[in-house]
Amino acid sequence: MAIELEMAPDGSFRTPGPTPFSSKLLRAAVLVAVVATAGAFAFLALWLALALVPIALGAILVAYGLFRYRLWKSGGSLSGQNFPFGR
């Protein structure tokens, strides 16, 4: 934003007039647009995180089921050499 200084013939500076209403309205509109955009991005990020929760729970259940299956196939012991994943 450029500031323009006006000088009177006697060497004194003139004070600028009041800010026009359209300029104030434009500032308010830009502020509302920025806040709305930030809110939309926050909502989208939250929605994506909540949409991934069931997928993560499904992956956990599949991993647990496979772990129990391998444990059952190996004889059912978590100690010694029967541990399905080795040491």
Cα distance between residue 68 and residue 62, in whole Å: 10
pTM above 0.95, yes or no: no
In a domain, 15, yes or no: no
Cα distance between residue 16 and residue 5, in whole Å: 8
Per residue in 26-36, pLDDT tens? 999 999 999 99
Distances from the Cα of 62 to the Cα of 11, 32, 38, 66, 72, angstroms: 83, 46, 37, 6, 15
In a domain, 8, yes or no: no
In a domain, 11, yes or no: no
In a domain, 16, yes or no: no
In a domain, 57, yes or no: yes
Rounded to the nearest 5 percent, the helix, strand and coil shares of the chain are 65, 5, 30
In a domain, 5, yes or no: no
Over residues 13-34, the mean pLDDT reads 90
How many domains are contained in the chain? 1
In a domain, 54, yes or no: yes
Where in the sequence is the domain holding 65, given as residue range(s)? Answer: 22-82
In a domain, 2, yes or no: no
